[in-house]
Amino acid sequence: MKKKNLELSSPLSQLTPTQVVKELDKYIIGQHEAKRAVAIALRNRWRRLQVPEGMREDIMPNNIILIGPTGVGKTEIARRLAKLAGAPFIKVEASKFTEVGYVGRDVESMVRDLTEFAVVMVRSERTAQVEAKAKERAEEKILDIVIPPVKHSVSSSSETAGSDAELNEKTRERFREKIKNGELDSREIEIDQTTENLPAMQIMGPINLEEMGINIQEMLGGMIPKKNKRRKVPISEAKKILTQEEAQKLIDQESVVREAIHKVENSGIVFIDEIDKIAGTRGGQQGGPDVSREGVQRDLLPIVEGSNVTTKYGTVKTDHILFIASGAFHVSKPSDLIPELQGRFPIRVELKSLNEDDFIKILTLPQNALLKQYIELLKSEKVEISFDEKAITIIAKIAAQVNEEIENIGARRLHTILTSLLDDILFQAPDELKELSITITEQLVEEKLSSIVKNRDLSRYIL
């Protein structure tokens, strides 16, 4: 019953598919089909938790392959989705993995990394919950150092002891307020900080023990006693150090791990980028790197199908982790993946290439729009810049033209175009810039960027 309450209080229960798409629209332009597919997949995670327990285990996630050129929003869709869900999320690149027996990372490491991320995520959530109490305890410790409590000696009379204790308590109360208000932040005090007295170790050899879920330092931690290091620090820094230590004491680490594993198993999202790089060309030449590629696919299959992976926090089941794969598939096709792996990614969505109109929207509409980013960056130098509508249209037109003629890198082209356009302003601010209010006009854009479009050889260097 307790577990069900935890699941129902999840952010997933608040997000319907239409709401997910609306939230994604704030950051990503277009790609409505891809947004619909991930929104349904996300909602299905919550729906599965509401069905009777006997059937719950049989409902498998519908993994997705996003197909489209670079820079159209594949990674951003997955990253924003995980933020919305408050779910453990990790992005991995398929080309970094190698078949078991080759030198490199094995595919199980993605589950270990996801679990590590989930533990850090849950621990930070729990730390935020106990922060007020930990801060209070830390302030009390600092107070004990600044104004130690009165110690009664056997020889002192009860009257003297009583008046001393009363006076001490009044002084402590006064200093407690000063510590809380930050009036004594610059004053230095000596504190004992706990440090791990463990030697640095590196295991040489083909097997990475950390990858196997074996943490040698944790095994030795119980044998080697912890050491207190005495440090002289300002009270402002002592507050942070002691608050952190007290928070760790207030958190039940075992329940953190239990909740993290529960989150990974039921709401974890793994984004596998560049999956097209491990797809061999069917009927083509077999041998060389293709053997390793197909080996990676075979190793990936049990993880996506559902298996138990050993991590240093315990065994993690991958049956209900959502896998979103993506690739440009310029050379290969999704059908070049081994049939078993294709079957584990039943939903395929093709993302469209971005055109001039999309670029205009990307520059202006999202909450983190590129033009807004540059405006805020220069505002830090007391420089106000603004962009004419015609200037924005020309920037979008040039980006689309260069993408078409040289190499289509999608919205990433806008970064390089804007950097070239604002190069002088970014370099001269704040020392040499005479005007602190600048309007980027159509003429300025054409003057700065016309040579790039005209000279095809020069535009090749704009990566």
Do 367 and 430 have their domain in common? yes
Do 286 and 252 have their domain in common? no
- The residue among 257, 274, 302 that closes a domain is 257
Do 85 and 39 have their domain in common? yes
What pLDDT sits at residue 117?
92
Rounded Cα distance, 281 and 290, in Å:
8
Q: How many CB atoms lie within 10 A of CB 175?
A: 17
Span 336-349, average pLDDT: 88
Helix (H) / strand (E) element for 385: namely strand 384-387
**DSSP per residue over 394-413, as a string?**
HHHHHHHHHHHHT---TTHH
**367-388, pLDDT tens digit by residue?**
888 899 999 999 998 889 999 9
Task: Give residue 394's domain range.
Answer: 356-453
Structure tokens at 176: 């407690």
Q: Is 409 a domain residue? A: yes
**199-253, pLDDT tens digit by residue?**
554 444 444 544 444 555 555 555 555 667 777 888 888 888 888 888 888 889 8
- CATH number of 315's domain: 3.40.50.300
Rounded Cα distance, 98 and 105, in Å:
6
Q: For residue 88, which amino acid is it?
A: P
Rounded Cα distance, 173 and 139, in Å:
12
What pLDDT sits at residue 260?
94
446: helix, strand or coil: helix
- Higher local confidence (pLDDT), 75 or 9: 75
Q: Is the pLDDT at 285 greater than 50, yes or no?
A: no
Q: Is 125 a domain residue? A: no
Give the single-character DSSP code of 88.
-
Do 381 and 274 have their domain in common? no
Do 422 and 442 have their domain in common? yes
Span 448-460, average pLDDT: 62
Do 174 and 196 have their domain in common? yes
Q: Is the pLDDT at 462 greater than 60, yes or no?
A: no
Q: Is the pLDDT at 10 greater than 60, yes or no?
A: no
CA–centroid distance for 153 within its chain: 57
Nearest residue to 346 (alpha-carbon basis) of 148, 60, 139 = 60
Do 337 and 277 have their domain in common? yes
**410: which residues sit within 8 A by CB, 6+ positions away?**
69, 70, 71, 72, 73, 353, 354, 403
Span 408-416, average pLDDT: 85
Q: Is 463 a domain residue? A: no
What pLDDT sits at residue 453?
61
- CATH number of 430's domain: 1.10.8.60
Nearest residue to 212 (alpha-carbon basis) of 312, 103, 118 = 312
Q: Is 252 a domain residue? A: yes
Span 341-366, average pLDDT: 89
Total domain count, the chain: 3
Q: Is 459 a domain residue? A: no
Structure tokens at 449: 């960027």
Do 334 and 360 have their domain in common? no
- The residue among 214, 233, 257 that closes a domain is 257
Residue 238 near residue 189 (C-beta atoms within 8 A): yes
Exposure b/e, 311-340, CB count within 10 A at least 16 = b: bbbeebbbbbbbbbbbbbbeebebebbbee
Q: Is 132 a domain residue? A: no
Q: What is the mean pLDDT of the chain?
A: 80
| pLDDT confidence tier of residue 315, bands split at 50, 70 and 90 | very high
Least confident among 16-30, 264-278, 284-298, 391-405: 284-298
Span 440-457, average pLDDT: 76
439: helix, strand or coil: strand
Do 320 and 221 have their domain in common? no
Residue 75 near residue 271 (C-beta atoms within 8 A): yes
- The residue among 257, 277, 300 that closes a domain is 257
Q: Is the pLDDT at 458 greater than 90, yes or no?
A: no
Q: Is the pLDDT at 196 greater than 90, yes or no?
A: no
Q: Is 243 a domain residue? A: yes
Do 95 and 153 have their domain in common? no
Alpha-carbon distances, residue 360 vs 228, 241, 356, 375 (angstroms): 58, 47, 6, 16
State what percent of residues in the chain have pLDDT above 70. 79
Do 289 and 253 have their domain in common? no
Q: Is 130 a domain residue? A: no
Do 151 and 192 have their domain in common? yes
Classify the C-alpha dihedral 23-28-30-32 as positive or negative: negative
